[in-house]
Amino acid sequence: MTDPGHTATETESPRDQRKGRGLPHSIYALGGGLLLFALVMLVRDDILLRSGPPTPAAQDNGAIAFTPPPMSSIPNGPAGASIRHGMAIFENTGTEARAFVGNGLACRSCHLDAGRKADSAPMWAAWVSYPQYRAKNKKMNSMEDRLNGCFSYSMNGQDSPSGGPPPKGDPIYTDLEAYFHWLASNAPTGAKLKGAGFPKLKLSSLGYDRDRGRAVYAQHCASCHGDDGQGRRDLNGRQVFPPLWGANSYNWGAGMAQINNAAGFIKANMPLGAGNSLTDQQAWDAAAWIDSQERPKDPRQKGSVQDNAAAFHEGEKTFYGKTIDNHLLGTGTSPKPRL
Amino acid sequence: MSEHPLADEAFEPYEPRRPVPLPVYWMAIALALWGAVTLWNDSTAQSSGVGQRLAEAGDMTRRHSAAGADLFAQRCATCHQANGAGVAGAVPPLQGSRFLGANPQLVVQILLHGINGPIAVGGDRFDGHMPAFGSVLDDGQIARLVTHLRATWGNGGEVEAAFVKAQRQATRERHASWNGGADLVSLDPAVGPQPAFLSAPPAPSDSVAMALARGGKAGGWACSACHGAAGEGRSGVPRLAGLPADYIAQALLAFSTGTRPSDIMGPIARQLDGPERVGLGRLYATMASASRARPELDGDLARGATLALQGDDRRDVPSCFSCHGPSGFGVAPIVPAIAAQQPAYTAGRLAALGRHGKDDAGAAVMPSVAARLSDADRRAVADYLATLPPSPAIDTDTKDAR
């Protein structure tokens, strides 16, 4: 009738089971708890703090990640003074290199965050890749040669008070290089660094189109850069949003006048604070709209625009030398009186 | 009953084993860990804060000049630059400026009341609009700042708080800024020849807008009831004085259509028509009034300054000033001034933009930037902005006419 074994299991099993399972149970509980905590932290960091798709640079293979040193670690003494002045030139180019700037831009207009931001041609990545052979001028270029090009084209030196870039050996170059050298502290020389240059975007079968670009520009760019592309100034007349075309912008010889470069910059960095929010196609089209507007002439031009297009713009993705609305692009703008 | 006798008279009621489900443990442990991490963060923040204060209080003399340098870095360098070079065509240099070599009274007066008018410095002419620091810096702070300025770019010599106090007392009746160099040369001729100040044609007073601001519409709220008679705002209610006119008009439109949802502003804005919105925008845009904003959110001011001046590249947050102008004075027509804004409003607005700003058509890139700010960062930046002088409100229409 009564099975002693049976009753024993009935009454004693809960206790026994609890005893037997105590350890694994608490391991599961603790492990699960840790896992949940880690998961929540990851989600918080990855999704909330880093919304948006990963930057194209993050997918590069074999490229080394690099973070420049914090501003607070600029050393004191004469070296530090040179680095600080280099940074001042970079941020306040129109004042610190006043004689050689012929437009309303500064270095930092395109090299964002004082040349620190990845995917906006950061200077720590540029520093470790010079001297370099450049097809643009068909020679080995020192960093000074490269900076001379920046002043000639992006800063439109031809319309500056001195009529050109700083002369060879000018301390402006030395101080800028001191700043770049410091930014690249501990970076491996010659290595491929993540976020160097501007991202390279693939062109789809749609190509790029300035009329589509006009719409993208109106929706995503015009509120800061203005419908007329002239950027905006604050109440003291200081340029806050840089001019994208016209007499106060980069000239036809600048890298940014090539649509592929502008598209890469726009994709990764614009609108400011919402980089990578436009599609590749939108970036291509906006770049086409911006780079199909008139700007200061190419300072290398000797003969006609067509001759210059053949000599210096062959194979570029550019509107230079093309006729839009009965206007030959590349003709140039007349220099604006500087404020 | 009888055929079913109680099977077990000695039955002891017991609770069947119902183990607590594992997920409950998981959550409890995860919450405990979170709590521990939060407590640890707080305690390190607190101890580093204590360390900071101790370090600050350590050496009185060092603190004295360092505090002046810090004030300069956080309130002045955005325009005049860290090296005092200014910005060609926009902001006068401090390097070699005759104003700093002049009587210290002059520098104190400029800081107290600001400048609004043409000024010649170092051979260049500037259309000067400098904010008044009188409402955001106390006598001791101005004294330390002027001491630092004169030591770096002037003739040296210490300025005492009592001197600033006397200067403040001497011009306490003054509410407007100094009218450019022409006004300042009368304080000290050592500053050299100055361009004449041509007074702007008086702005046509908009009696409709004025009546709305003071009396409201059809028994509704008056703007001034909450935003103050001078548009200076109060805790949690935004400062309107000096915001761009178009920004105010657009915000009122957004309140009325609900694209910027607000239980308070919605019904008020729906009473207004287009010309009234524009009129109110112009009225407040040209209102120059002292700052009533003070840090009140326990934010980390140094962190706030970093966010405003440099941003945080680790979180892909651009600096506030890269869009809101070098000193947070806004950029007409649509980028609002954020300097001297009420901190509770700033922090609340950032939180709202981060949560559901995507629907807010006028806000452009702010939603994605705001979403990357933590609560502590929002409080830090809001409190820092509250320490800045208010935007020098100028009438852009009459400025162009001048």
Task: Delimit the domains of chain B by residue range.
Answer: 60-191, 207-402
The answer to whether A332 faces chain B, any CB pair under 8 Å, is no
Q: What are B302-334's pLDDT values in tens digits?
A: 999 999 998 988 888 999 999 999 889 999 888
Q: If contacts are CB pairs under 8 Å, which of residues 256-275 in chain A contact chain B?
A: 271-275
The answer to whether A32 faces chain B, any CB pair under 8 Å, is yes
Gap between the Cα atoms of A285 and A138, Å rounded? 30
- DSSP conformation class of B87: B
A37·B30 Cβ contact <8 A: yes
The answer to whether A162 faces chain B, any CB pair under 8 Å, is no
Q: Which chain B residues are Cβ-neighbours of A52 within 8 angstroms?
A: 316, 368
**B38 confidence band (pLDDT: 50, 70, 90):** confident
Among candidates A260, A254, A243, which has minimal Cα distance to A297?
A254
In a domain, A142, yes or no: yes
In a domain, A279, yes or no: yes
- Among residues A133, A168, A183, the one where a domain terminates is A183
A234·B331 Cβ contact <8 A: yes
Q: Same structural domain for residues A163 and A217?
A: no
Specify the pLDDT at position B105.
92
In a domain, A122, yes or no: yes
- A311 phi, psi to nearest 5 deg: -75, -40
Is there a contact between A157 and A102 (Cβ–Cβ < 8 Å)? Answer: yes
* Fold match flag (B60-191 vs B207-402): yes
Q: Summarize the confidence of residues B271-280 as an average pLDDT.
A: 92
Among candidates B221, B339, B213, B336, which has minimal Cα distance to B283?
B213
Distances (CA, A) of B97 to A55, A96, B121, B163: 46, 16, 6, 22
Closest CA–CA distance from residue B398 to any residue of chain A (Å)? 13
Residue A92: closest C-alpha in chain B? B87
A88·B316 Cβ contact <8 A: no
Specify the pLDDT at position A226.
93
Neighbours of A57 (CB within 10 A): 17
Residue B318: closest C-alpha in chain A? A273
Is there a contact between B200 and B402 (Cβ–Cβ < 8 Å)? Answer: yes
Q: Which of B27, B79, B91 sits opposite A36 (nearest CB)?
A: B27
A273·B365 Cβ contact <8 A: yes
Q: Same structural domain for residues A216 and A292?
A: yes
B392·A235 Cβ contact <8 A: yes
Q: Which of B27, B313, B334 sits opposite A223 (nearest CB)?
A: B334
Residue B237 pLDDT more than 70?
Answer: yes
A241·B27 Cβ contact <8 A: no
Specify the pLDDT at position A93.
97
CATH number at residue A159: 1.10.760.10
Q: Summarize the confidence of residues B67-80 as an average pLDDT.
A: 90
Q: Could you read off the pLDDT tens digit of each residue along chain A, which spans 339 residues?
A: 444 444 444 444 545 555 556 777 778 888 888 888 888 877 766 555 544 433 444 445 678 899 999 888 999 999 999 999 999 999 999 999 999 999 999 999 999 999 999 999 999 999 999 999 998 889 999 999 999 999 999 999 999 999 999 999 999 999 999 999 999 999 999 888 999 999 999 999 999 999 999 999 999 999 899 999 999 999 888 999 999 999 999 999 999 999 999 999 999 999 998 889 999 999 999 999 999 999 999 999 999 999 999 999 999 999 999 999 999 999 999 876 554
Q: Which chain B residues are Cβ-neighbours of A85 within 8 angstroms?
A: 83
Exposed/middle/buried for residue A190 (C-beta within 10 Å: 0-12, 13-18, 19+): exposed
Best probe of the B interface among A183, A235, A336, by most B CBs < 10 A, is A235
Specify the pLDDT at position B51.
58
Q: If contacts are CB pairs under 8 Å, which of residues 111-130 in chain A contact chain B?
A: 112-113, 116-117
**Non-local CB neighbours of A226 within 8 Å, separated by 6+ positions:** A232, A241
B368·A30 Cβ contact <8 A: no
- A323 phi, psi to nearest 5 deg: -105, 120
The answer to whether A218 faces chain B, any CB pair under 8 Å, is no
Q: Same structural domain for residues A312 and A237?
A: yes
Closest CA–CA distance from residue A153 to any residue of chain B (Å)? 20
Q: Same structural domain for residues A214 and A178?
A: no
B372·A50 Cβ contact <8 A: yes
* pTM beyond 0.90: no
Q: Which of A18, A239, A274 sits opposite B368 (nearest CB)?
A: A274
In a domain, A19, yes or no: no
Omega into A131 within 30° of 0, i.e. cis?
A: yes
* Domain range B207-402, its CATH number among 3.40.50.2020, 1.10.760.10, 3.40.470.10, 3.20.10.10: 1.10.760.10
Residue B63 pLDDT more than 80?
Answer: no
Exposed/middle/buried for residue B320 (C-beta within 10 Å: 0-12, 13-18, 19+): buried
Specify the pLDDT at position A8.
44
Q: Summarize the confidence of residues B292-299 as an average pLDDT.
A: 93
Specify the pLDDT at position B358.
62
Specify the pLDDT at position B250.
92
Render A41-70 in DSSP notation, one character per residue: HHHIIIIISS-SPPPGGGG-SSPBP--PPP
Gap between the Cα atoms of B10 and B29, Å rounded? 41
B87·A50 Cβ contact <8 A: no
Gap between the Cα atoms of A310 and A321, Å rounded? 9
The answer to whether A219 faces chain B, any CB pair under 8 Å, is no
* Domain range B60-191, its CATH number among 1.10.760.10, 1.10.3720.10, 3.40.190.10, 1.20.140.10: 1.10.760.10
**B11 confidence band (pLDDT: 50, 70, 90):** confident
Q: Which chain A residues are Cβ-neighbours of B32 within 8 angstroms?
A: 33
Specify the pLDDT at position A1.
43
Range of the domain at A238: 210-328
Q: Same structural domain for residues A94 and A150?
A: yes
**B192 confidence band (pLDDT: 50, 70, 90):** confident
Q: Same structural domain for residues A214 and A317?
A: yes
In a domain, A128, yes or no: yes
Report how many Cβ contacts below 8 Å link chain A to chain B. 156
B85·A274 Cβ contact <8 A: no
Gap between the Cα atoms of B222 and B217, Å rounded? 7
Q: What are B241-259's pLDDT values in tens digits?
A: 999 999 999 999 999 998 8
B128·A34 Cβ contact <8 A: no
Gap between the Cα atoms of B304 and B346, Å rounded? 12
**Number of domains comprising chain A:** 2
Q: Same structural domain for residues A118 and A178?
A: yes
- B319 phi, psi to nearest 5 deg: -65, 145
